[in-house]
Structure 1
């Protein structure tokens, strides 16, 4: 993992233009803690909006899934998080006497341990089988177990992909499913920049600290010599296209070393960290158009900030 981290940093910062760092490296222990704080910020509406859907529209979700009481289901959550949203759906399914098993998938064993402990306390009757694995490896393992599948991919995590990458992801997801299997896809909807941009640039500076913590991680784990005071957090949002981007901006001309490698930065040069795509129906339809997946239903929160699309494998 450390060697992969190092190679990704060298590749991303060696570029003459469009320097970049993969957002997956945000999540060391401090990064995890900071992201939890971000989700609780008044400006960060995403978690609250999807939580409202799972709290108040659970019956609509179950109706849209069109479950068969005679079938056994595997409810597979990719990137399971802490379970506080999913628990509302799981509780309704348990109380409805549906025959299912919950299979959270995550590359973090700590996250899986946490969600298992939480759900065992909340729903002792729930059959839970955590999978510490890559998404598609886990799905391949589940493919032949004879159950119908419901895949949850929540939190607008798909928004970290370009539209082409999202199409490829959904296509691969479909290839791991059987005809009639379902997907619950959570996406952040397009809105005015006055709503979206503060979600990535809060007044308390927690998001800035979250992004700049990546510099500290590289210094600590890879031996780079970034100076935090030489960089600032610099998010942007293109309202017309519907894409938010997170950058770190160099405040001066400077250089940073990693072993024998030296990376030079011009004043105001940007390091790209993350894309956060916002969606409308047209974008979702375009992404699905080159896959075997179709859109069946759309469920939104009361502000129409967020949507969970119910999709089906054909």
Structure 2
């Protein structure tokens, strides 16, 4: 049995490992040309709260669209998973966040007496702690096993039990990757699953600029705050001296390409020092730090993404406005 001391030590080890990875990624990204910072580091305690605020903004249609599917087409999702109510399975969510959409599914699975464990995986320990506490209140009979860390490391550890699995990758998070990276990501997921396991991938569909761009440039400036908070996180965790007043949020969307991009732009020529790296970085006025892409999809692009993977598309479920799609794939 794991003692309290063991638990504390494990948590400390996880946090130390995370900070080391964060440090290395920041050093690498800010040394590149053009400079980059990974969007996965948006999500600290402040970032988590800001993203919840973003999800409730009128401009941010993505969450509402997928929530529409999970709330109003729940049975269609369950049928797409092809799961037996009497057979145990693991429902694993990659990047679970606050679990708002997934709760709609959990409610129905519980009501219909499906036999499963819910395994939310997230980089953010804060998000997992809040989610676990919330589920204990709202759905106390659902078995929850939170897992903090890298998706593939956690999946590799879960692979050993050889239990049937349904993987959820929601929110068009796959759109934060290049097409090549997305194809590799899905391939690697397949390597950690068994034949017959299911993978649900939620994707934002290609739409007009008038719909897409405001989702990344809201009138209240919450998205700008969310993007710029990454600089504050570097200051806090790595001893940086970024002055966020000298940087601006810059969103762009190319409708023909189907990709939205976010960047942090230096408004002046400046130098930033990060103590944990014992290194300084020069910025020109107008120089961008690329933080995120958000690819939009259609059937052709999805087919290309999975072409060299071990998955086949079983079904596609749309929201009421046809803004968003949840593709359910089967591991071959």
Range into which the TM-score falls when normalised by the shorter chain? over 0.9
1:219 and 1:119 map into 2 onto residues whose CA distance is 33
2:226 and 2:56 map into 1 onto residues whose CA distance is 14
For this pair of structures, how many residues does the alignment match? 313
Structure 1 contact 38–206 (Cα < 8 Å) conserved: yes
Structure 1 contact 298–307 (Cα < 8 Å) conserved: yes
- Match status 1:244 vs 2:260: yes
Shift in CA distance, 128/220, structure 1 to aligned 2, threshold 3 Å: closer
- Match status 1:271 vs 2:285: no
Shift of residue 194, structure 1, vs aligned partner: 0.8
1:112 and 1:203 map into 2 onto residues whose CA distance is 29
Structure 2 contact 248–264 (Cα < 8 Å) conserved: yes
Structure 2: gaps (5+ residues): 1-17
Structure 2 contact 44–124 (Cα < 8 Å) conserved: no
Shift in CA distance, 263/132, structure 1 to aligned 2, threshold 3 Å: closer
Please give the secondary structure, in 2, of the residue aligned with 1:85.
helix
CA deviations on 1:150-197 (whole Å, 9 max, x unpaired) are 111111111111111111111111111111111111111111111111
**Greater alpha carbon shift after TM alignment, 1-10 vs 261-270:** 1-10
2:269 and 2:118 map into 1 onto residues whose CA distance is 52
Please give the secondary structure, in 1, of the residue aligned with 2:167.
strand
1:249 and 1:129 map into 2 onto residues whose CA distance is 40
2:114 and 2:236 map into 1 onto residues whose CA distance is 48
1:88 and 1:225 map into 2 onto residues whose CA distance is 42
Aligned to 1:188: 204
Structure 1 contact 83–118 (Cα < 8 Å) conserved: no
Shift of residue 146, structure 1, vs aligned partner: 4.1
Structure 2 contact 231–242 (Cα < 8 Å) conserved: yes
Please give the secondary structure, in 1, of the residue aligned with 2:34.
coil
CA deviations on 1:233-273 (whole Å, 9 max, x unpaired) are 11111111111111111222222233553322222111111
- Which structure 2 residues correspond to residues 125-136 of structure 1 after superposition, within 5 A? 125-136=141-152
1:139 and 1:9 map into 2 onto residues whose CA distance is 25
Aligned to 2:187: 171
Structure 1 contact 201–208 (Cα < 8 Å) conserved: yes
Please give the secondary structure, in 2, of the residue aligned with 1:310.
strand
After TM superposition, the runs of 4+ consecutive aligned structure 1 residues lying more than 4 A away are none
Please give the secondary structure, in 2, of the residue aligned with 1:124.
coil
Structure 2 contact 164–197 (Cα < 8 Å) conserved: yes
Q: 1:10 aligns with which of 27, 32, 35?
A: 27
- Which structure 2 residues correspond to residues 221-232 of structure 1 after superposition, within 5 A? 221-232=237-248
Please give the secondary structure, in 1, of the residue aligned with 2:119.
strand
Structure 1: gaps (5+ residues): none
- Which structure 2 residues correspond to residues 298-313 of structure 1 after superposition, within 5 A? 298-313=316-331
Q: 1:282 aligns with which of 296, 300, 306?
A: 300
Aligned to 1:26: 42
Aligned to 2:177: 161
Structure 1 contact 71–147 (Cα < 8 Å) conserved: no
TM-score, with length taken from structure 2: 0.89
Structure 2 contact 190–331 (Cα < 8 Å) conserved: yes
1:60 and 1:11 map into 2 onto residues whose CA distance is 44
Aligned to 2:65: 49
Shift in CA distance, 36/63, structure 1 to aligned 2, threshold 3 Å: same
Structure 1 contact 190–280 (Cα < 8 Å) conserved: yes
Aligned to 1:255: 271
Shift of residue 81, structure 1, vs aligned partner: 1.5
Please give the secondary structure, in 1, of the residue aligned with 2:142.
coil
Which structure has greater helix proportion?
2
1:95 and 1:54 map into 2 onto residues whose CA distance is 15
- Match status 1:197 vs 2:198: no
TM-score, with length taken from structure 1: 0.94
Shift of residue 112, structure 1, vs aligned partner: 2.1
